[in-house]
Chains A and B, each alone.
Chain A
């Protein structure tokens, strides 16, 4: 029973990342009808937003510290981040410690900007071209973005720790009445899960309860009619692209303490997120979220040692296997609408 719960918990954080990326992919596909192979790159850029913010905050200048000496006995030069000068050392240190959560604020405007520029500058010209062309151009864009990041940040993973307060683990089992230390779970992963649930809820609420969201939903159903009513649907769809980019970026920024960001993390997640979208049903937002969590948990169950012993290698292929079965038996996916991209 304990191991059962552990596997579910382990699946949740990966599932959250899948769900967030797949949500953005589905938003873009549902609104603009574009298959965005560069979405993984957006996830990666979000992660590097956190890295960049960390570097910006620790920008420092050197001062003489009279209380310390170096090995020659001269007064030592100490690096002091500028942020200490502005907020004082204590608050400054706290801010640096909280880089990753703060990067949310930094990543939102950056990612919306990236998304809007991407849509207006490139993808807009591909609405009328075949899906294959869209796949190809976004695939090319993904390569370019990832290589740019590699040129600036190098090829090695960059460790980005969570705040000190969240480094420990949470004894989850005690809550459920098990023995202590049987079900423990890192705080940050728990936070990541809660964070992703909040983001998903926010996106759904935005679409469901605001006028803007209502217009977007109407546009998803029938773009032409909405346009005929005198609404500039293109501009709203552009903003939705920005929003989808921001969702992917936030998923990436908060994921950094779990997995140190490197330049090809986007590609690694992209393939799986596509599978998630397909399993959930192309164009269905709840389907994408559901499939994200389900596949995350499924993957984590498949990597239990008992399962691997019975079916070796299943942990590597289970997601693809599910995708193949779903595509062949129920092409519209778990929650896809009838007739949407079913052939």
Chain B
């Protein structure tokens, strides 16, 4: 199917189904129950799942396949965002303009940075990309203010030209990004008994693009090009000796992953037309590293899982406050209850980053393959029993005739 083998086809189908039915899957609790705070099915968060999924999938093409650890990918996200908003300002509010421009701009930017950074490998590469990203951040914050609008961030305004659409609305409201008239913020709410589900146009636009991006990443992973990138990771010297120059391959991977990041940036501004310099900060680059590693670098589904995981818990954990904790531990005697709340308190609410950091360290230490490897290990645990039974059976079968 679509040039995928059976296993990849199934994986791809699962992702497609998940994306289509996410508004249902992520809203398992009735909207007025006490568990409703664990619902993640509101448009804003679902869009973020997909956008960061694209970002992480792109990062994975570089880090997962070639092993080059870039600490500056946020620069492409930021560049894509700025390009997107400028398209809204100059051309019109169709998201296609923004997405196309952001992919192209981020690609060019990545070509420039990658061309220089890829002259070095290992830690030097990480530091070079970090330096470039910090430079872009500093410049976007200060000197490039005419383009980036500095601290305030780039916004739409009334007197933007928008040459393809003419003057803005007469009532003075700012126009909204749309796809051929379908506004990205348009939401249809479906009430089914106690449940309510939101179907958001922007979410499904992101969904289609994310599915395309995911498909592209599968094809890259399975292509001869992907094989070359793996060769770069496993032994670059040997690749050199076989007469292959790794540079064009790594540069291509860098540009592709930069374009994915730009695409994510373009989608971000399509959902909310605002771009700020802090999107380029190196902690943002660190975030995508966290997502990819947590999910499983070098695997197809890992980055998507990691992005979803981090964004979900970021939202849920930061909403748990002391009051909620007291409710949870209410069954304990008072002293214990307070003690438990005191113990758990630093890890939830504003302390979510602490939990994330600990989790990330645990994954790097014990589970270098991320959540995907964890899943495989659990799967193997269940399967091993059968296999050992079989193995014992065959061993016996072989032994008996010899006796």
Contact = CB atoms under 8 A, between A and B. Distances in A.
B282 A137 contact: no
Interface in B349-365: 351, 353-354, 356-358, 360-361, 364-365
Interface residues of A, number: 38
A148 B365 CA distance: 20
B354 A320 contact: no
Contacts of A132: 67, 69
Interface of A: 35, 122, 125, 130-133, 135-137, 139-141, 143-144, 147-148, 150-151, 267, 271, 274-275, 278, 282, 312-313, 316-317, 320-321, 323-324, 327-328, 331, 341, 343
B341 interface: no
A147 B353 contact: yes
A154 to B, nearest CB: 10
A274 B354 contact: no
B143 A35 contact: no
A331 B121 CA distance: 11
Most A C-beta atoms less than 10 A away, residue of B131, B141, B353: B131
A120 B394 CA distance: 46
A320 B132 contact: yes
B374 interface: no
Interface string B102-131: 000000000000001001111110111011
A144 to B, nearest CB: 4
B138 A148 contact: no
Contacts of A141: 357, 361
Contacts of B121: 343
Given A132-B67, A143-B357, A271 B135 contact: no
A21 B119 CA distance: 27
A23 to B, nearest CB: 18
Contacts of B142: 312-313, 316
A137 B124 contact: no
B338 interface: no
B19 interface: no
A132 B139 CA distance: 28
A79 B121 CA distance: 59
Given A144-B357, A323-B131, A133 B143 contact: no
B78 to A, nearest CB: 15
B127 A275 contact: yes
Given A271-B134, A313-B138, 5 more contacts: A133-B364, A136-B293, A140-B357, A320-B135, A323-B127
A336 B360 CA distance: 33
B393 interface: no
Most A C-beta atoms less than 10 A away, residue of B67, B127, B356, B358: B127
A313 B361 contact: no
21 contacts: A125-B365, A130-B67, A136-B293, A136-B364, A137-B365, A140-B360, A143-B360, A144-B357, A144-B361, A147-B353, A148-B346, A274-B127, A275-B127, A282-B123, A312-B143, A320-B134, A323-B128, A324-B132, A341-B123, A343-B121, A343-B122
Given A143-B356, A147-B357, A271-B282, A327 B124 contact: yes
B172 to A, nearest CB: 35
A150 B351 CA distance: 8
Contacts of B69: 132, 135-136
A320 B131 contact: yes
Interface string B187-206: 00000000000000000000
A29 to B, nearest CB: 9
Contact of A316 (B123, B138, B283, B351): B138
Contact of A151 (B116, B128, B351): B351
Nearest to B130: A271
Interface in B271-302: 282-283, 286, 289, 293
Most B C-beta atoms less than 10 A away, residue of A35, A148, A316: A316
Given A147-B353, A312-B143, A328-B116, A135 B283 contact: no
